[in-house]
Structure 1
Amino acid sequence: MSSVLKSDIGHAVPGEDELIERARAMVPWLRTRAAEVEAARGVPADIIEKFREAGFLRVLQPRRWGGYEMNPSVFFKILMEVGRGCSSSAWNLMILGVHPWEFGLFDPRAGDDVWGRDDSVIVASSYAPVGACRRVEGGYVISGRWPTSSGTDHGQWAILGVMAPGEEGKPPVDRIAVLVPRSAYTIIDDWQVCGLAGTGSKSLQVQETFVPECHTHSLADYSMSDRGSMYLFPFTQVFCGSVSAVIVGMAQGAIDLFVEQMATRRNSGNGKQTSASPYVKDRLGNATALVRSSRARLLMMQIETTPIVERRELIPLASRVAYALDIARVGRECDQAVQLLFKALSARGIYLDNPIQRIVRDVMAASNHITQNADDNAGNLGGFLMGEALPPLQYAR
């Protein structure tokens, strides 16, 4: 896109290359902040403000509310750059930056309520359907405690996951997202973890709160509507793909640091330059291949599916099942990549002043995210290819 283009309410829209260059330019600065972010157990407001100023939080936002309404591939590429600098900061960008895309699925009244006065308002989330939910006239009443709301201190609203109840004694009829204002929940600081410690992924406690129908949408339904073409991608492709994209960035950050460190290190036993070891080179080459393959799968998924949604068609089910595994394997393969590098660092890798050990822990934590469940997604794909039914409320309502 040309920088002379405007969003529907007048914001200049930077081009894809410009946005990616802004992200790349932030990497050295984010590196210097990573230890501070981890120690604080949360991303400082000034880093989020830098992301906002760069336009990253508008990339997926609908033009109707001042966004750029770009292809998710642009957001993926930004995350792959920012992730090289500070894992936790990039994770916050991923979570807080993907939510604007979701407003292409909500009733437009939801977007009006959030951005009617200020189109830069940030929305947090917790999609685990762990709270109580009951149907009432005009919407739902929810209550409970939702965990791991990353970057939630920066949000004025939150999207929560719930199971829409069926008739008494019957299974849930849908898996839905509900939008609630900051006044509806209390933030509980329970984020004490070994990886991604700087994401501030605290819990949200909600008392009995009414959520109007227009503040909900189905997470399971995938059907045609009049929403814009960039919002015809499946929710799981955009959300889960964003998680994988930021993991690619983290792992690439480990590769960058490994190359820098090995350029000056010498073997303490024979005095030779460590980078001359064929085993070090082998580990670096294989780690790089794993990360490049992960990146390629995510971007190829967008290349293959963009023409489909631009024709205003839905992504076929067989492709969606395969893409789910393509996305989920990223966590496993990037974790393998950083472990390959870590083992070549010997004792020097375990010191807290070596940033690679933090990335190792961050990628390990990120690869445990539900979106990175390669085991179940492999089983789903294998079973589907052999004619088995898919899990309920996962690919369709």
Structure 2
Amino acid sequence: MNMRAEIPSDFSMVDADEAMQRASSLVATLRERAPACEAARAPLPETLRDLHQLGLFRYHQPQSRGGMELDYVAIVDISAELARGCPSTAWNVANLGSHHFLLSLYPQQAQEDVWGASRDHLIASALAFPAGRGKKVDGGFVISGSWPFSSGVDASEWNMLAVTIRTAPDAPPTDHRLCLVHKSEYEIVDNWFAAGLKGTGSKQVVCNEIFVPMHRALCMADIRGGEHPGAAANPGPLFRVPLVALGGHTLAGPALGNAQAAFEIFLETNRSRKTHYTAAKISDFQAVQIKVASASAQIDAARTLLRADAAEAMAIARGGQIPDLHTKLKYRKNAAFCVQLCTQAVDTVFSMTGANGLYENSPLQRCFRDAHAIQSHVNFAFDVAGSAFGQHALGGQVRNPML
């Protein structure tokens, strides 16, 4: 059966409420499939089919291309909801869906290269800039590199590979480019054997001396908010949001939904459970009650802060403005802090689960592993984001060419 023939081509009339209902409709199914997704170490074909059918990769695709073009907060809300079922799936929806946003910032010819063939083409990314090297040539760049952690790459037709442009191998970077490369031009190295987020298929990508035309090499200095190379085709306020500043929010949704799932599963399994040794009800222990309240507060705080940042960024974009550096650093600090809160909530819940949580068939052990896998992402290193914010707040200079 041809999956593509069954996928609607236009989701432009789907609003945020409808998108969330569609995400909610998949939660129970994703939870059932989560063990198989982990075993496959990549997105399941049947799950990809469902996500395409419901348009859940296309929440930030331009309406002119049949996408939903929802406000920025959708990336938090939709991925958090899907993560209640399977954090690995949610991680890929957050990643791959956000790349429709990124493609909207490229010159129109690059957009046509991808969406002209199919509006449903998935685009992976490999954003470790030092892992790729490029040199400028007539009409574009020649790039090489070996990039780790390209989530969802097996299912993707294209990839966005990060490179530094140098005048000589040992010279400092003069430019940072995100190069749009077709899957026929790079090799996928099957090395994703991980403790958490097992089902993301975040494999290594390698290419050697390939030519990337100028229109497919997005300059990161051009997407710090406001005007961008794709603005003529995509003038909406969504695409004026500073993506690097809000990069952590892009991936914080799965952490939020994973924490919510852990909380819900704990409540479901412990309302009437008794201890093995004394037969006392778990729910009667005051220490348990207090920890439940603490985890709930951590999750609520993270959700409120993430959504508030996204709403503020959209309001600034609608006003035709660009957030100042203080605000951009605040977004990065807040995203890292919120994921830290989510990890702490999962740890709190898991600490009350006892030995039952250690079994491989327990969804709580998956929540625990996935929480710490998400926390390990560079966007969520609070010491890094917090130090930059604190340095600037105290009057120091913070230099980041992509902010």
TM range (shorter): over 0.9
C-alpha distance in 1 between matches for 2:88 and 2:110: 28
What's the TM-score once normalised by structure 2's chain length? 0.92
Identity of aligned residues (%): 31
List aligned pairs for 1:1-397, cutoff 5 A. 11-129=11-129, 130-166=131-167, 170-221=171-222, 222=224, 224-225=226-227, 226=231, 227-395=235-403
Contact 2:109 2:215 in 1 (8 A): yes
The count of residues paired between Structure 1 and Structure 2 equals 387
Contact 1:107 1:214 in 2 (8 A): yes
Contact 2:139 2:214 in 1 (8 A): yes
What's the TM-score once normalised by structure 1's chain length? 0.94
Contact 2:225 2:243 in 1 (8 A): no
1:268 shift after superposition: 2.1
- SS of the equivalent of 1:103 reads helix
C-alpha distance in 2 between matches for 1:377 and 1:190: 29
CA deviation vs aligned residue, 1:293-332 (integer Å, no higher than 9, x gap): 1111110012222221112211222111111100111222
CA deviation vs aligned residue, 1:271-311 (integer Å, no higher than 9, x gap): 12101111111111111111111111110012222221112
| Alignment-mate amino acid for residue 215 of structure 1 | R
Contact 2:135 2:166 in 1 (8 A): yes
1:352 shift after superposition: 0.8
C-alpha distance in 2 between matches for 1:302 and 1:336: 22
1:64 shift after superposition: 2.8
- SS of the equivalent of 2:376 reads coil
1:160 shift after superposition: 0.8
1:54 shift after superposition: 1.1
C-alpha distance in 2 between matches for 1:131 and 1:305: 30
- SS of the equivalent of 2:73 reads helix
1:174 shift after superposition: 2.6
| Alignment-mate amino acid for residue 228 of structure 1 | G
C-alpha distance in 2 between matches for 1:366 and 1:240: 11
1:167 shift after superposition: 6.5
1:340 shift after superposition: 0.8
C-alpha distance in 1 between matches for 2:285 and 2:221: 50
1:170 shift after superposition: 4.3
C-alpha distance in 2 between matches for 1:335 and 1:368: 11
1:101 shift after superposition: 0.4
Match of 1:5 in 2: none
CA deviation vs aligned residue, 1:220-255 (integer Å, no higher than 9, x gap): 442532443111111124432120111101111111
Distance 1:388 1:19, change over 3 A: same
CA deviation vs aligned residue, 1:180-227 (integer Å, no higher than 9, x gap): 001111111001111111111111111211011110212344253244
1:394 shift after superposition: 4.0
C-alpha distance in 1 between matches for 2:88 and 2:314: 29
1:11 shift after superposition: 4.4
Note the residue ranges of structure 2 that are not aligned, 5 or more in a row: 1-8
- SS of the equivalent of 2:104 reads coil
C-alpha distance in 2 between matches for 1:97 and 1:220: 22
Note the residue ranges of structure 1 that are not aligned, 5 or more in a row: 1-8
